[in-house]
Chain A
Amino acid sequence: MKSLSALKARLLRATSTLNRIIGAPDYEGYLRHQHACHPDRAPLTRDEFVKQRLEDRYSRPGARCC
């Protein structure tokens, strides 16, 4: 049982790494940051956060090249 949860944790870490490499919005990281630094403010929902990140990513040069 213990090895199963360890495996799951490792899988989660791997998927999070891949997600960040391909540039997918990292909501968990954002939540951690909000809880640590701005516990008084209500964080964005996942939908809001993802929408905002994607809009931002494709509106300026600096994220893609030839």
Chain B
Amino acid sequence: MRRLQSVAIWILVAACGAGAFAWIALNRGERVSAAWLVTAAVCFYVVAYRFYSRIIAANIFALDANRKTPSERLNDGRDYVPTNRWVVFGHHFAAIAGPGPLVGPTLAAQFGFLPGALWIVIGVALGGAVQDFVILAASVRRNGKSLGQMAKEEIGPIAGLTALVAILGIMIVLIAVLALVVVNALGESPWGVVTVGLTIPIALLMGAYMRWIRPHKVLEATVMGLILLVVALYVGRGVAENPALAPLFTLSRTTLAWSIMIYGFAASVLPVWLLLAPRDYLSAFVKIGVVVALALGVLLVLPPLEMPAITRFVDGTGPVFAGKVFPFCFITIACGAISGFHSLISSGTTPKLLERETDARFIGYGAMLTESLVATLALIAACMLTPGTYFAINAPPSAIGTTAESAAAAIANWGFTLDPEQFKALTASVGETKLLSRTGGAPSLAVGMAHLFSNVLGGGTAMALWYHFAIMFEALFILTTLDAGTRVGRFMLQDLLRHVYEPLGRVAWYPAVVFSSGLFVAAWGYFLYQGVVDPLGGINSLWPLFGIANQLLALVALCVGTTVIIKMGKAKFAWITLLPLTWLAIVTMTAGWLKIFSDDPKLGFLSHARLVQEQVAAGNLPANVKSAADAARLVMNDRIDAAVAAFFMISVVIVITSSAREWLAVVGGRKPAISTEIPFEPRAVAVGD
């Protein structure tokens, strides 16, 4: 009877999901309510969790609640601590979720809501969640080893080194592109600059509070910080409305770029208790708060999707970024569908905290499904704007000009409508003087969220507050990724420089700290600055590079996963990681190739460099370029971007070939299938005690 009941429930869930998908698919030409998309996604997640993740848990790893976990075996009260599964879930989710799942889907909305939605939902079930779960389980079985260590031990030293260098490369591109998103959101916006700027002294105040006033009272300090964030929001408004103060805080994008570089450098050299740790605590709360608020907003309002299911820009002529839906939809949305960066978390803090190894399914697969839901919600928030509004905010000036009227004309050419007066009213209602071409995704998401929230709470008059609330949140967690990332990058760089000159590796020697921090900030600062002055808008070249890099890391992780599975003697189940691996290899290689060699100068780095050179040779400078020296720099940047893409592609080839050799050797019987797992050790007390 119970069994029958369960079968009936699962058939119902599957039917609900399929029905919602069918409704979306058949309802062409009419507006579809977000309710259908949420229903389809959630049903799909639930079914995937129940049935697909079971294959990994039961058939491959045979996770056993009576097997000792690293946290029990190596319990040291520090890194290895047996922790309740809900706490680990929260911690893991706060670590994997960030601005990525919010920005990517917003950018990919230029293809319409359907390509992005399908990739987010299917990609996570068959790719992202599989990667996170397999790496977590593999690491738990190896005392919490990191991805780099596993790549070295399972595949070989070359793959291990490639993984290390790739991680460093990805961090550089990641930080640059996220910083660019912040710069675009805050440029010429005194309200935003003041509000986000104030979060730095707030963090310092929290740090001082936890050190001297009420030592180690983390939650007290965080609650105080959260209250001060709200105060900062109002202070920002006060400044923006004050004609004497507003111009002082109206910063150009280049000034902002320099400020962010200085901030990143400071975060890397200052003591962690002063700036990094307090910001991190604040950001963890804000992150969970934003996710809950976004979910509540969408569920309470259930907005209709104004964006069509598929737009004409699937042909590659899109203004937000160039490139066809294949492969660029799958590059643009990384976090939310599959994100290689997660494999660092799944083989970092999390495996050392698991109380039972069976928790790995809930935490590895489950947390990634939750992040995917966040991405779906972000996609909805972008697609509930009218297409005209969406493109006016997200297209660069080279596509729509610099006035609402020119934007309306360009957008009408694409078959959408934008009322210039209405757009000006919207700009004023969110408390800004400029909303046109605020590229990068964060501002259009903030407009979407402001619509949702003001619908629920406060009405139209609260639009401006909600908009800046959303901008502050997004900037807060982007800057938290940026500062922590810069510091981690500094340590990784020092670890490499140690081989060149030993004292450079000393993490407490000030000259070495300053030198390597400066070097790392210069690396991402270079790409950031290039993005800020790029006449095509910067996001167009940097976001795909980030996507390719992130998917490369996912490839490394999936190669490690496949090797682990084959060496366990479970080669017949290796398709579970080989499937997303093959897809990602096709996607990254195609996208990398197109970014380097495409004849379309909007898409290919080299053809763009050639075009600029030809224009200079013919005596006329490209639009938005002031001097021949600037044009030469543009050519140089294109070539560097092409080299970076080529480097990522070569890394893909190296990792895949060295893994494939290992697989064939094991499957062909030339190498014994010996698993490097720590042997089974029963828990002292059986589960159920």
Residues of chain A at the chain B interface (Cβ within 8 Å): 15, 17-24, 26-27, 29-34, 37, 46-47, 50-66
Contact = CB atoms under 8 A, between A and B. Distances in A.
A35 to B, nearest CB: 10
B238 to A, nearest CB: 30
Given A21-B87, A58-B484, A59-B507, A65 B339 contact: yes
Between A24, A50, A52, A64, the greatest number of chain B beta carbons within 10 A of the residue's beta carbon is seen for A64
B277 interface: yes
B81 A26 contact: yes
Contacts of A15: 219
A64 B485 contact: yes
Interface residues of B, number: 56
A62 B345 contact: yes
Given A63-B345, A64-B95, A65-B96, A58 B77 contact: no
Interface-centre pick from A29, A51, A52, A59 (highest chain B CB count, 10 A): A59
Given A65-B100, A66-B98, A54 B83 contact: no
Given A26-B81, A29-B77, A65-B341, A58 B272 contact: yes
A62 B114 CA distance: 33
B207 to A, nearest CB: 10
Contacts of A62: 146, 344-345, 347-349
Contacts of B96: 65
Given A22-B284, A23-B94, A37 B75 contact: yes
A66 B481 contact: yes
Interface stretch (B413-421, B486-494, B558-566, B608-616): B486-494
Given A22-B284, A23-B280, A50-B216, A65 B167 contact: no
Given A22-B285, A50-B216, A65 B78 contact: no
List the 6 closest A-B pairs by CB distance, nearest first.
A62-B348, A33-B77, A66-B100, A21-B90, A30-B77, A22-B284
Given A30-B77, A34-B77, 19 more contacts: A15-B219, A19-B218, A22-B222, A23-B94, A23-B284, A23-B349, A29-B77, A33-B76, A33-B77, A50-B216, A58-B487, A61-B488, A61-B492, A62-B349, A64-B98, A64-B480, A65-B95, A65-B341, A66-B339
A22 B94 contact: yes
A53 B381 CA distance: 38
* A contacts with B: majority SS: helix
21 contacts: A21-B90, A22-B91, A22-B222, A22-B281, A23-B95, A23-B284, A46-B215, A46-B216, A50-B216, A52-B78, A55-B272, A59-B507, A60-B488, A61-B492, A63-B348, A64-B98, A64-B480, A65-B96, A65-B344, A66-B98, A66-B550
B273 A54 contact: yes
Q: Which of B77, B100, B216, B487 has the most CB of A within 10 A?
A: B77
A61 B218 contact: no
A51 to B, nearest CB: 7
Contacts of A18: 219
B99 interface: yes
Contacts of A27: 216
A46 B444 CA distance: 45
A62 to B, nearest CB: 2
A18 B273 CA distance: 19
A20 B484 CA distance: 19
Contacts of A30: 77-78
A58 B348 CA distance: 12
Nearest to B273: A54
Given A18-B219, A59-B507, A53 B484 contact: no
A63 B99 contact: no
A50 B335 CA distance: 32
B264 to A, nearest CB: 13
B342 interface: yes
A60 B94 contact: no
A61 B348 contact: yes
Interface of B: 75-79, 81, 83-84, 87, 90-91, 94-100, 146, 167, 171, 174, 178, 215-216, 218-219, 222, 272-273, 276-277, 280-281, 284-285, 334-335, 339, 341-342, 344-345, 347-349, 480-481, 484-485, 487-488, 491-492, 507, 550
Contacts of A66: 98-100, 174, 178, 334-335, 339, 341, 481, 550
Contact of B77 (A17, A23, A32): A32
B660 to A, nearest CB: 26
Contacts of B488: 58-61, 64
B354 to A, nearest CB: 14
Contact of A23 (B79, B91, B167): B91
A58 B276 contact: yes
Contact of B78 (A19, A46, A47, A53): A53
Contacts of B94: 21-23
A31 B229 CA distance: 34
B167 A17 contact: no
A50 B79 CA distance: 13
Nearest to B347: A62
A53 B216 CA distance: 13
A57 to B, nearest CB: 8
A20 B97 CA distance: 17
A26 B75 CA distance: 14
A47 B347 CA distance: 28
B87 A20 contact: yes
B138 to A, nearest CB: 15
A41 B99 CA distance: 44
B481 A65 contact: yes
Contact of A60 (B83, B215, B341, B348): B348
Contacts of B273: 50-51, 54
Contacts of B174: 66
B372 to A, nearest CB: 14
Contacts of A57: 272, 277
Contacts of A21: 87, 90-91, 94, 284
Given A55-B272, A66-B174, A24 B348 contact: no
Contacts of A20: 83, 87, 91
A41 to B, nearest CB: 11
A43 to B, nearest CB: 9
A24 B78 CA distance: 11
Nearest to B97: A65
Residue from A17, A31, A56, A65 with most neighbouring chain B CB atoms (10 Å): A65
Contacts of B215: 46-47
B491 A19 contact: no
B219 to A, nearest CB: 5
A49 B219 CA distance: 18
Contacts of B492: 60-61
